[in-house]
Amino acid sequence: METLHKDSQKHIGQFVAEDFRTAAVFSSYGIDFCCKGERSVEEVCKKNNIEVDELLDKLHAVVSSTSQQSIDYKSWPLDLLAEYIEKKHHRYVEEKTPVIRQFLDKLCKVHGQRHPELLEITALFIGCAKDMASHMKKEELILFPFIKRMVKAQLEGTSIESPQFATVENPIEMMKHDHEAEGDRFRKIVELTNNYTPPADACNTYKVTFAMLDEFEKDLHLHIHLENNILFPEAIKLEKTPSKK
């Protein structure tokens, strides 16, 4: 019981950073582990009326399970993690957004009259696509290159010029604010789609579109988790660590 009590003060983002399989447990309770990962287990349980011991038991069962071990992203060098996020998650968003938009447009034309919620879902997704494109460019052109320069300087024992943004914490706060906005958008999409459940009269295009939105949200959750709970805090820590001479 002592361990359970101690872990009740642990941040949910920390659980997921240590073992991404715990994300499925938080998701099953509707707990946002990516944008709001800085809350303690006790705090989210109180807010969602969940028994602390019940949630911790499920989390510990997942962590102690040896099957299907998750990737230990926390052990990756920060430059590699930044590169991975860009190549895997940024490219995923770029590839999928035009396809999903095309499918949503088709659904609105065919089913929009009977299902007006499709128009709102489409507007939300278009907003997400537009803002994510701008957000990812800022990361690729400003934040990620600076993180990579910090890693290089640390390895070489050299110093780097102070960036225009003064400290890495400034662009990180902006990126986290963007993440929060996308989390809010997708919570509305989940609500409007009844957790991606197509209506009884849904055609195959309808079903495929909802499945694609579901997959897009899952990828976004991992994407935001890797940044908010691993890359960003480690980059802040690295900036404050003196270079080894």
For residue 169, the model assigns a pLDDT of 96
Residues in the chain with pLDDT < 70?
1-5, 66-70, 243-245
- As given in the structure block, the two tokens for residue 128 are 């997400």
- Three-state secondary structure string covering the chain: CHHHHHHCCCEHHHHHHHCCCHHHHHHHCCCCCCCCCCCEHHHHHHHHCCCHHHHHHHHHHHHHCCCCCCCCHHHCCHHHHHHHHHHHHHHHHHHHHHHHHHHHHHHHHHHCCCCCHHHHHHHHHHHHHHHHHHHHHHHHHHHHHHHHHHHHHHHHCCCCCCCCCCCCHHHHHHHHHHHHHHHHHHHHHHHHCCCCCCCCCCCHHHHHHHHHHHHHHHHHHHHHHHHHHHHHHHHHHHHCCCCCC
What pLDDT does residue 178 have?
96
Tokens of 40: 């303690």
- Which pLDDT belongs to residue 245? 47
**pLDDT value, residue 107:** 94
Tokens 């920390």 belong to which residue? 14
Which pLDDT value is given to residue 2? 45
